[in-house]
Structure 1
Amino acid sequence: MNRAEIIQLRLFNQGLSEPFFDKPDEVIAHFGAMQAQDYSMALWAVGLRMKNANRTFVGSQIDSGSIIRTHILRPTWHLVHQKDIQWMMELSAPNVKKATQYIDKKEGLTDDFFLKAWKIIEQQFKEADNLSKEDMMFCLLKNHIVVSNLLATQIIIRAELEMFLCNGYKKGTYTLFEKRVPPSNKISKTEAIIKLTQIYFQSRGPATIKDFIWWSGLSTTDAKIGMAELSKKLNSFIHNELKYYYFEPKNSIAERSVFALLPCYDEYTVSYSESRCIVLPNNADSSETGNGIFKPILLSENEIIGTWRKSKKSPFVEIQTFSENIEIPAKNIKESIESFNISK
């Protein structure tokens, strides 16, 4: 495959060239997990992959618990389907704990301290279905435990990793995990690795092993187990000295020219490490693109040509292209945000 073909297949697998999902939770199930520390941008990322995007619909499935927003895979927020949260958390929690142990140690979050704090917080949930971080901090204070904002965050993350807590019924709140997620059958670690590997390459291929390791947070040893188990199904090729893997699409892919306002932290860029640069423009440095992650980016004719940001005036976005010679029809922008109120 050449560069254009890699991009075309990624756009298809990512649901950007041909949105084929009716519901938000179908998008999440396809991706396994979607990065979501910027809540508003995460809603937009899901909406881009739907046939008929609707901001309220996406948000309602998070509020209802069909989609869980939690810390998983890497120590950052992700959206995960309710049916996948348990096996995925059991697989990734040990790795996320390792990634957070420096801050835990710095803040004094030991296992004993966490269990003591959690018993107090758990009692508070007998009086309320949802608690904010501030509610939990006040609850601890009433029991003579003073915690900083950062320590409170670490306590909450640990509770998420232990599957004690998850997002509540509205943004900024938490509830007991067991109240939102019904029990599911356990699977072995090897089965979970294989499942995660398959999800990744089906939704994000072509990609490299290092890309997968970065996204999943798995060790190299574990990632290679998944690759080995799927070796007979995965196709591979070499491009610019990197080995890419992908699943053969079930149907032929029509060549499409994609125009899209991609949010920051979109899976189109954040899902990759060593091969992310293949979609980034050669004429723009990382400060302009935010390394393709930290800034919302403009995709036109399958190429990243600029960045955008929210505006208070219609059409609610401001465009900044990397070249003065590029013109973007207002119609394209309007169509991109017509059914999804991006100004919120």
Structure 2
Amino acid sequence: MNILHIRLLNQQLVSSRFTDVHDLVAWMGMVQAQEYKMMRWAVGMRLREPSMSAFREAYDAGRIVRTHLFRCTWQLVAAEDLGWMLPLCAERNKVSIRGYLAYHGRRIEEREYERANRLICDALSGEKSVRKEILLARLAECGLEDDAHTMSIYLRRAEADGIICSGELDSRQNTYALVEERIPRLRELRRDEAIAELARRYFRSHSPATLEDFVWWSNLGVGECRAAIESICSELISESYAGETYFIHRDCRVRGYRRQTILLPSYDEYLIGYKSRHHAFEEEFRHRIHNRNGLFYPVILDDGQVVGNWHPGKDAAFFEEAIQPDLTDAFRRYRQFWNSDR
């Protein structure tokens, strides 16, 4: 079993099956989206033909949305999936928010969140999309004003409460809209059904992966994750490798891999989507891939292995002189993606 080759196929990084942005994001379950610009390439490079204009169209139409979900980090999801995904992670996100505030010697009472939510609703009501700076200015006019970190907490809590999500795509900063106005039909599921569906999405798009990988990705309890895997066991094939049990979904591809050099954005699912990401790089280069604070850098993949770093407009920096693949086609695809929006 070649773990990296199969992951590349099912993450749609090689020989993608998808031409539609919404369908790709729905297949992935969620796509990590910490960096507002690089999230576009994270989706675009997984399409059969990279297209920034296609990404913008899906984002502006509200077919995909960006919000804080699992692990209380930014993710892109298919709009209709927000209704069943948010209840899975909302309470854990609220705990994370309280912990962040406590670490900085702050506390926000529930009545303050309730007031903030009302003001946020008033500021966004009837608006298709509002840039963050304008939203914060409107809130300040209503008496809700604090330091930048605390205001971001109010917005993150409103996301956890299912009140706001992303609006239209802006070139520079986050935008916000009311969920009830942005997404007219949210799909709802019972919790056990939702976790089973989440497991299905994960193992379809991330196989081969372990129970521990799914726990990391979802930030749900081990017991719930194990139960979810058991509930879809008829859809999974288990294989032992180096003392670990890996699951492969029946809808996954295990053949059709072709070698390709890929410019991977920071925080990409190919690395951050697993606890077992050690398959993709040598330990001595870990500091070139992510730091101890969880900051992931843009990296170069060659045959599934991380071999260097890259930055738009700058030269690549390879880890070893002996492994320096030709990046001509990789940068061509990257430029083609951005040029499609002009």
Q: What's the TM-score once normalised by structure 1's chain length?
A: 0.90
User: What one-letter code is carried by the residue in structure 1 that aligns with 2:231?
Assistant: E
Q: Which residue in the other structure is 2:278 paired with?
A: 277
Q: Which amino acid aligns with 1:232?
A: S
Alpha-carbon distance in structure 2 between the residues aligned to 1:20 and 1:233: 20
Amino acid at match of 1:108: R
- What SS does the aligned partner of 1:227 have? helix
Alignment correspondent of 1:263? 265
Out of 27, 30, 33, the residue aligned to residue 33 of structure 1 is 30
- Structure 1 contact 132–173 (Cα < 8 Å) conserved: yes
Aligned residues: CA RMSD = 2.2
Distance of aligned partners of 1:248 and 1:122 in 2 relative to their CA distance in 1, 3 Å threshold: closer
Letter in 2 for 1:220: V
Alpha-carbon contact 1:266-1:293 (below 8 Å) kept: no
Q: Which residue of 1 aligns with 2:83?
A: 86
Select between 98-107 and 19-28 the one with higher mean Cα deviation: 98-107
Unaligned runs of 5+ in 1: 312-316
Q: CA 1:75–1:125 in 2, change beyond 3 Å: closer, same or farther?
A: same
Q: Say if 2:82 and 2:187, in contact at 8 Å, map to a contact too.
A: no
For the pair 1:23 / 2:24, whether they are aligned, the reply is no
Q: Which residue of 2 aligns with 1:70?
A: 67
Among 307, 310, 316, the residue aligned to 2:309:
307
Note closer, same or farther for the CA distance 1:164–1:304 as it changes in structure 2 (3 Å cut). Answer: same
- Give yes or no for the alignment of 1:328 onto 2:311: no
Does the 8 Å contact 1:36/1:77 carry over to 2? yes
Give yes or no for contact 2:42–2:268 (8 Å, CA) kept in 1.
yes
Paired residue secondary structure (1:243): strand
Q: Report which stretch shifted further, 88-97 or 98-107.
A: 98-107
Which residue in 2 is equivalent to 1:314? Answer: none
Q: Give me the whole-angstrom Cα distance separating, in 2, the residues matched to 1:333 and 1:173.
A: 30
Deviation of 1:59 after TM superposition, in Å, equals 2.2
2:113 corresponds in structure 1 to: 114
**Are residues 305 and 252 of structure 1, via their aligned partners in 2, closer, same or farther at CA, if it must alter by over 3 Å?**
closer
SS of the residue corresponding to residue 318 of structure 1 reads: coil
CA contact (8 A) 1:269 1:293 kept: no
Q: What is the identity, as a one-letter code, of the residue corresponding to 1:31? A: M
Deviation of 1:191 after TM superposition, in Å, equals: 0.3
Deviation at 1:251, TM superposition (A): 5.8
Task: Point out where structure 2 has 5 or more consecutive residues left out of the alignment.
Answer: none
Q: Percent identity?
A: 28
The answer to which of 73-82 and 103-112 deviates more is: 103-112
Contact 2:6 2:254 in 1 (8 A): no
What code does the residue aligned with 2:281 have? L
Q: CA deviation at 1:330?
A: 4.8
1:53 Cα shift? 0.8
Q: What is the aligned partner in structure 2 of residue 290 from structure 1? A: 290
Give the aligned partner of residue 146 of structure 2.
147
